[in-house]
Amino acid sequence: MSESVSNLQAKLETGDFVVTGEIGPAKGTNVATCLHEAEEYLKGKVTAVNVTDIQTAVMRLGSMPVAHMLVDRDIEPVFQMVCRDRNRLALQSDLLGAYALGIRNVLALTGDHQAMGDHPQAKGVFDLDSVGLLQAMTRLEGGNDMGFDMKGNPNELDGVPKFFKGCCVTPCADDIEPQIIKLEKKVEAGAQFVQTQAVYDAASFEKFMKKIEHIKVPVLLGIVMLKTAGMAKYMNRGVPGVQVPDAIIQRMADCEKEDRQKVSIEICSELVRDMKDMCQGAHLMTLGWDHCVPDIIAQAGVAQ
């Protein structure tokens, strides 16, 4: 990728509605499956593809090598970075490494606590949070071709990166004010776009968007594909800030097993259609159902 702005940045800055997808690296060295999914179902269908970073604190292949493999395949990645596993030295080093490998979009995340994952005895680092990581990126970029590390040392970077910096927010949290305050801090720290936690209720999303009208960055609506009614109920119980309405749960419960995927596609496309005028994009988290993305985009009428 050249040093010019990413395709994601260019589209969002010109006001286009964008769709992004997401893949998760394997728990192992097999990259064939996730790369096949990206090439077969996401390339040319979405503007960019998120690569998750040890999601849910389950040990697996890292996000940077997979993001680089996407670059090699002419698929634009969004490199997710969590602060749980690295101190500020490693985070800054990985940012420079990502830029050198052609990665331009970075999503800053604090990261799920390690107690949630398969190595609960691991020591969490959390030297920085997502705000601190955004500040670190902004300092590395500097200005006038002069970047600074977090120590404040000028003129020590032999080559200065320039990222398109993203962050996350939870629009349907029970207490929304802390989410808005944190989002304001993230944008002040340098965030240029926002991807949301999963949203299933247009009315709640509209209320949230009205509350952040003063925050002038593009927002991408997050949607997780529901695979069963049980999954939807679990998300309501166990994922903070996610509210799946009873009507959607009932639709998943009422359909036959062989129709679940079709109904889930319909739900996703309806959600995008209902909320696309409130935001500037949709981020589709398909949890392995990447082959559904083209149908969601087609039914929602948001071809890229």
Q: How far apart are CA 44 and CA 162, in angstroms?
A: 24
Domains in the chain and their CATH numbers?
Answer: 7-300 (3.20.20.220)
pLDDT computed for residue 155 by the predictor: 61
Residue type, 14: T
Q: Name 196's bridge partners.
A: 169
> How many residues belong to the chain?
304
Mean pLDDT of the chain: 95
Torsion of CA 105, 292, 290, 84, to 10 degrees: 60
Q: Is 152 a residue whose pLDDT tops 90?
A: no
Query: pTM to 2 decimals?
Result: 0.95
* pLDDT digit string, tens, across residues 72-92: 999 999 999 999 999 999 999
* pLDDT digit string, tens, across residues 114-130: 988 889 999 999 999 99
Nearest CA to 137 out of 99, 173, 101, 111 is that of: 99
Confidence label for 143 from pLDDT (cuts 50, 70 and 90): low
Q: How far apart are CA 113 and CA 129, in angstroms?
A: 12
Q: Is 148 a residue whose pLDDT tops 90?
A: no
Q: What percent of the chain has pLDDT over 90?
A: 89
pLDDT computed for residue 112 by the predictor: 87
pLDDT computed for residue 1 by the predictor: 47
